[in-house]
Amino acid sequence: MKPNVVIFTYTLRDPAGRVLDTSAGGEPITYLEGAGQIIDGLDEQLRGIAAGTKTIIQVPSAKAYGERDESQVQTIKRALIPIEGTLNVGDRFQTDTDKHAPVVSVVALDADNVTLDANHALAGVDLTFEVEVLAVRVATSAELQHGHAHGADGGEHCQ
């Protein structure tokens, strides 16, 4: 059975009910099932949901951005940081020019050292998605070959 392309809107909340993200006011999300375009737990739970369905989906952290890994928190010499100018706690930057290089957050600093956290900001957080599935269709052969959705009707040119 071919995977589907699913089009949906969402509001994402943390365990305290705070809104972390939403597609409201923007374009709905269009994705190919199983292609890694959205977090695993959401992908798995959206499968088989009919268009027109509004539902709440709980995604445990392990199926979202993973558990926190304290080995991803490291203190290094300030001189080794590739950022010129002022650094502040909470700043985020990519560790290299490669687009796949990790993004780190500054969690502590002093005159000589900087403590960086390479965990995703939502690692260890259980997520709640309020979802409305707008459309579901069978993926086209081109989408399967390319590994991603080509828009709402499957006809958008991919670059």
The average pLDDT across 48-55 equals 96
Task: pLDDT band for 154, please (50, 70, 90 cuts).
Answer: low
Do both 43 and 90 map to the same domain?
no
Specify if 158 maps to a domain: no
Q: Domain with 139 in it: what CATH number?
A: 3.10.50.40
The token pair at 159 is: 């670059």
The domain spanning residue 83 has which CATH number? 2.40.10.330
Task: Classify residue 74: in a domain, yes or no.
Answer: yes
Query: End-to-end alpha-carbon separation of the chain, Å?
Result: 27
Looking at the chain, the number of H-run helices and the number of E-run strands are 2, 9
Which two structure tokens, joined as six digits, stand for 122?
A: 């939502």
Please check whether residues 61 and 28 belong to one and the same domain: yes
The Cα 38–Cα 34 span in angstroms is: 9
The total domain count for the chain is 2
127 and 112 housed in the same domain: no
Residue 24 lies in a domain: yes
Residue 140 belongs to a domain = yes
In terms of pLDDT, which residue wins out, 83 or 54?
A: 54
Residue 158's pLDDT is 54
Range of 29's domain?
4-65+123-146
Q: Quick one: average pLDDT of 17-34? A: 95
- Report which DSSP code applies to 42: H
Do residue 8 and residue 84 come from a single domain? no
103/135 same-domain check: no
Provide the token pair at 47: 């499968």
Identify which has the larger pLDDT, 96 or 67.
67
**Residues in Cβ contact with 104 at an 8 Å cutoff, skipping those fewer than 6 apart:** 92, 93, 95, 116, 117, 118
Cα 135 from Cα 40, distance rounded (Å): 19
- Between CA 66 and CA 72 the distance in angstroms is 12
With a cut of 60, say whether residue 40 has pLDDT above it.
Answer: yes
Position 98 in a domain? yes
- On whether both 55 and 94 belong to a single domain, the answer is no
Note whether 57 and 42 are same-domain residues: yes
Verify that 112 and 130 share a domain, yes or no: no
Task: Answer yes or no: are the C-beta atoms of 93 and 104 closer than 8 Å.
Answer: yes
Strand 29-32 relative to strand 19-22, pairing: unpaired
In a domain, 153, yes or no: no
Q: What is the pLDDT of residues 95-128, one digit of tens each?
A: 888 888 889 999 999 989 999 999 999 999 999 9
Same domain, 51 and 86: no
